[in-house]
Amino acid sequence: MEKQTATVLRQECIADGIYSMWIKTPLANEACPGQFISVYTNNAARLLPRPISICETKQDCLRIVYRIAGKGTEEFSRYHANDPVSILGPLGNGFPLSGEDAVLIAGGIGIPPMLALAKALTGKKEIVLGYRSTPFLQDELSAFGDVILATEDGCTGTRGTVMDAIAAHPLSGKVIYACGPIPMLRAVKEYAAAQNIPAWLSLEERMACGVGACLGCVCESTETDAHSLVNNKRICKDGPVFAASEVIL
């Protein structure tokens, strides 16, 4: 883990407001599925890093897929091949890998880390993806398992949420991995409890330091946390992946 100036290999827009950037960095070789990097803007007036999940890695190369959510990510979207990009990572704890048949459930910009995860998991995979509208990364993910789609506008797959898609396509996996908006994770947590199978959830929160020092990005935990002896786990350091039973959403 270190902060460094890496180099953009290439970048493309893969859906409305969604960008895919390959970065050349040896930090890629340390990364596990579910970890993230902090990406710093070139404008010192925007002093906090943007935490972005790692989509996949190759030797010395790391890919992020992110949505333009403000001026910082808008700046990143204008980077071209050979531009410098300032990053810190890999950060946080990734998904614990199980050899069992797995269900991957992701919504929106929670989908990218599922690609690295799908590559790393050895069992059969059912991959449930939810979008507002036009899908992205679904073709790449389909190489690793059965992809089930849901879109809010019904443009493709089941109209509605990932839970609507699951209701229409009964699943057989024995462990769930999920990343997406809180209401989705809440529903996944309930579903996993009803099915009596373990679930791993990747959470997101506004961060400042990204390394566990500032206590900006906590989530409520069922057990007392080791850092502060309260019920607040640090998403950046103790997560971003948590057992569903570990967190209160």
Partner 1 sequence: MNTQVSIAGVTFQNPVMTASGTFGSGMEYNAFVDLNRLGAVVTKGVASVPWAGNKTPRVAETYGGMLNAIGLQNPGIDLFIERDLAFLKQYRTRVIVNVCGRTVDEYVTVVERLADTSVDMLEINVSCPNVKEGAIAFGQDTKALSDITAAIKKKAKQPVIMKLSPNVTSISEMAKAAEAAGADAISLINTFTAMKIDIYRRRFALANRTGGLSGPAIKPIAVRMVYEASHAVSIPVIGMGGIANAEDAVEFMMAGATAVAVGAMNFHDPYTTVRVIEGIEAFMRDQKIDDVNSLIGCV
Q: Does 208 bind partner 1 (CB under 8 A)?
A: yes
Helix (H) or strand (E) holding 192: helix 182-195
Q: Does 2 bind partner 1 (CB under 8 A)?
A: yes
Q: Does 80 bind partner 1 (CB under 8 A)?
A: no
Q: Is there a contact between 65 and 14 (Cβ–Cβ < 8 Å)?
A: yes
What is 73-88 written as a DSSP string? HHHHHT--TT-EEEEE
Closer CB to partner 1, 29 or 122, in the complex: 29
Q: Is there a contact between 102 and 125 (Cβ–Cβ < 8 Å)?
A: yes
Task: Find the binder of partner 1 among 155, 214, 222, 223 (CB under 8 A).
Answer: 214
Taking the complex as a whole, the smallest distance from the CB of residue 9 to partner 1 amounts, in Å, to 24
Closer CB to partner 1, 69 or 143, in the complex: 69
Q: Does 75 bind partner 1 (CB under 8 A)?
A: no
Task: Find the binder of partner 1 among 59, 139, 196, 229 (CB under 8 A).
Answer: 229
Q: Does 31 bind partner 1 (CB under 8 A)?
A: no
Q: What six digits make up the tokens of 188?
A: 């996944």
> Residues 120 to 159: which contact partner 1 by CB under 8 A?
none
Rounded Cα–Cα distance for residues 232 and 59 (Å): 36
Q: Is the dihedral of CA 68, 63, 161, 175 positive or negative?
A: negative
Q: What six digits make up the tokens of 113?
A: 């880390």
Q: Does 164 bind partner 1 (CB under 8 A)?
A: no
Virtual CA dihedral for 167, 186, 179, 245, nearest 10 degrees?
Answer: -110
Task: Find the binder of partner 1 among 81, 193, 213, 248 (CB under 8 A).
Answer: 213
- Interface region with partner 1, contact rule CB under 8 A, candidates 110-118, 142-150, 184-192, 210-218: 210-218
What is the distance, to the nearest Å, from the Cα of residue 206 to the centroid of all Cα atoms in its chain? 14
Positions that interact with partner 1 (CB under 8 A): 1-3, 40, 44-49, 72, 88, 205-219, 227-232, 237
